[in-house]
Amino acid sequence: MNAFSGLSLVGAVAAAGIASACAARHDRPGLAGDWDAYVADGSTARPGFEGWRRMGFAHFASSDSGFAGSIRRRTGEPMLAVTMVDGEKDSVVLNGENNQSLKGTWSGDTLTGVVLAGGKPSGRRIRLVRRSSPFTVEKQYELWPGAVSDSQYAITEDTAVFMKTRDGARLVSYIARPVGNGPFGVVLQRTPYTRILHPAGRYWASRGYIFVAQHVRGRDISDGKDFGDYDTDVNDGYDAVEWAAKLPGANGKVGLIGHSDEGRLAWYAAVSAPPHLAAIAPSAATGDPWRIVPYEDMVFSPINVAWACLMRARTLQNINDLDIGAALIHLPLSDLPQQLGCGDVPLWDRWIEHPTLDAYWRAHAVTTNIAKVRAPVLQISGWYDDSRGPIDYTNALNKVPGHPFVRLVMGPGAHKGVDYVAGEFGPQSRVDTRRLQLRWFDHYLLGKDNGVDKEQPVDIFVFGDNTWRKEAAWPLARAVATAWYVSSGGNANTSGGDGVLDTIPPSGAPVDTFTYDPAKPTPYLIDSRELETSLNEDFTALNASRRDALVFTSKPLTKPIEVTGQMSATLWAASDAKDTDWNVMLLDVFPDGHAERVQDGIARARFRKGYDKEVMLTPGSVEQYDIDLWFTSRVFTPGHRLRVSVSSALFPKYDRNLNTGGNNERDTTFVVAHQRLVHDAAHPSHVTLPVIPR
């Protein structure tokens, strides 16, 4: 997934005039007071689900105040510099500094507008929703207390320094250096995204590190014509580490960082075991390609067309206003980029060419060679991060005898941070990732005895408690695998049905049935432009309305239940189709009735015997499906209920199984499947949750 995020709006509110502008029409709400600021991608609304994320807040004063107000991020940084407010009927324009503005309209007491830069849409919208109390600025929680290197050095920057690889390719780097003789540790970030990273360079260089951001092949002015194959990145990563270790002023110790795909690039270098690699500290590292991008447990994820279009040229392309949501229903999926106007995307074509776990995918996997890693590892991620790599790589490395020291930090955030996760999680929810990396490298690159190698290796944020907790190992040894069984009277369709979830084995009707029609697939709530595929959206309405999903809900809890670790589902099911999918979602039902997604997983029937071979179904035959439900750390508190939904689609997170046994990405024809979920004594379909005694 892509690593860049954030808003382009900068500046501070600098002038008054809002109250007088709003007075032009007395029946329109005034701006005075406090607001939550929600942000959505794209300059215009598109069909389907749109993610409005609570990324900021606003305060506007009354007309007798010398202060007009402000729109700021949740961390306090300014978002828009307002210098004048114009109003006409139900429209408001907040004019700002640097030729930026917000042009909005009222709907009741909510103001929604498009962000303009130079009078043109900038690809973002903001919605102001009134608050009943002032917003408290969210400060960084110091997860790892202790001294870190201070900002004390003057710096120099060079935006284009070339390195030659072993096969003669020239790769370009941005380098920021401390002024002085050193020797200095080197922090290296290999990237397909942005190379010239002034804020990061100045951060590291001012603290006594040489910072290098290197463009991989096929990006900007680095050599290479076809980005995304990653065939050379293990060797290129080795060469880059050894080259960086010999830069003028370097102390010979290199640390690797990177977010998302950059994180996987850090791992690619680590499995080559370069002698001068002292440590790595990736965040939200992308997992193996059959686990998350482009396939999820070998089921193709069409939502990745956003990333493919973003990366289709040598520099990042604007995708904010692509009508991805409407295009996703198109068949065949193989020509989806062309349908969107992205043209030919070789990366997309390569993905489609390998629909099973073959040698191509294994060669592009970290876990294939993870036993070669020698450098200590710090991994940082969040429970709603869709990258999947940090947990997968931790699990794989922990199985290697004599593996290097591994630390894991799992917070409450999503791929692009906690701002994308619905809810408020208290004063410990926001952690400075870069500060953790700095303390890590202070020890491994500069030799400071600060204790990072002696502390407990696992830090987890526990939802419900909304606090961090240290653990001795992952997974938690004290976790008790607890089965929650699904059962019903045979009518579990929708949350209004009779589906039950309980720790008692199933009784009652032996089966539930539903019909899966690929023309009307069960939806998954996802904003197709966000590149966030694993958020805690509210599925209440879908649970209540979709008869092509079975819903099983527990009684209200009378005591708290903590679930921390990796979850799974085991289903016994049958279909009259040659191939089909089985999706399982775990949800937390709040006392007010709304149901938030916790995690979900999928099994494609043809891969029930392994991802490397396709075995079609015998229509009507009951088969066992074991489904990975990912992981969480969550306290389900008294009054809440656990819910499991079962369907044969979660579209467009996963592509539609066309049920024919053919190629789901290249074919255009499909058939309707009639599904049976079995839950009797011989086939106790259930989810398994790692319950922590409390």
Q: DSSP labels for 549-592?
A: EEEEEPPPPSS-EEEEEEEEEEEEEEESSSS-EEEEEEEEE-TT
Q: Which residue has the higher pLDDT, 445 or 98?
A: 445
What is d(CA 233, CA 375) in angstroms, rounded to the nearest whole number? 18
What's the pLDDT at 27? Answer: 46
Query: Is pLDDT above 70 for 443?
Result: yes
pLDDT single digits (tens) 267-289:
999 999 999 999 999 999 999 99
Residue pair 362/385 in contact (Cβ under 8 Å)? The answer is: no
The average pLDDT across 111-115 equals 95
Phi first, then psi, for residue 128 (nearest 5°) are: -100, 125
pLDDT bracket for residue 653 (50, 70, 90): very high
The average pLDDT across 127-146 equals 95
Chain centre distance of CA 516: 28
The average pLDDT across 37-47 equals 91
Q: Which residue has the higher pLDDT, 29 or 372?
A: 372
- Residue ranges of the chain that CATH labels 2.60.120.260: 480-692
- Residue ranges of the chain that CATH labels 3.40.50.1820: 155-289+364-465
pLDDT bracket for residue 20 (50, 70, 90): very low
Query: Is pLDDT above 90 for 629?
Result: yes
Pairing status of strand 458-462 against strand 406-414? parallel
- Residue ranges of the chain that CATH labels 2.40.160: 18-130
What is d(CA 469, CA 459) in angstroms, rounded to the nearest whole number? 6
Chain centre distance of CA 544: 27
Q: Which residues pair with 484 in a beta bridge?
A: 687
Q: What percent of the chain has pLDDT over 90?
A: 86
What's the pLDDT at 4? Answer: 29
Query: Is pLDDT above 50 for 473?
Result: yes
pLDDT bracket for residue 63 (50, 70, 90): low
What's the pLDDT at 60? Answer: 84
Query: Is pLDDT above 60 for 633?
Result: yes
What's the pLDDT at 67? Answer: 54
List C-alpha distances in Å: 574 to 580, 619, 674.
10, 7, 9
pLDDT single digits (tens) 171-230:
999 999 999 999 999 999 999 999 999 999 999 999 999 999 999 999 999 999 878 888
Q: What is the CATH number of domain 18-130?
A: 2.40.160
Query: Is pLDDT above 80 for 15?
Result: no
What is d(CA 38, CA 112) in angstroms, rounded to the nearest whole number? 9
What's the pLDDT at 69? Answer: 76
Candidate CATH numbers 2.60.120.260, 3.40.50.2300, 2.130.10.10, 3.90.550.10; the one for domain 480-692: 2.60.120.260
pLDDT single digits (tens) 403-427:
999 999 999 999 999 999 999 999 9
The two three-digit tokens of residue 411, written as one number: 């917070």
Candidate CATH numbers 3.40.50.1110, 3.40.50.1820, 3.40.50.720, 3.30.200.20; the one for domain 155-289+364-465: 3.40.50.1820
The average pLDDT across 638-647 equals 98
List C-alpha distances in Å: 688 to 99, 481, 484, 568, 609.
55, 6, 6, 5, 20
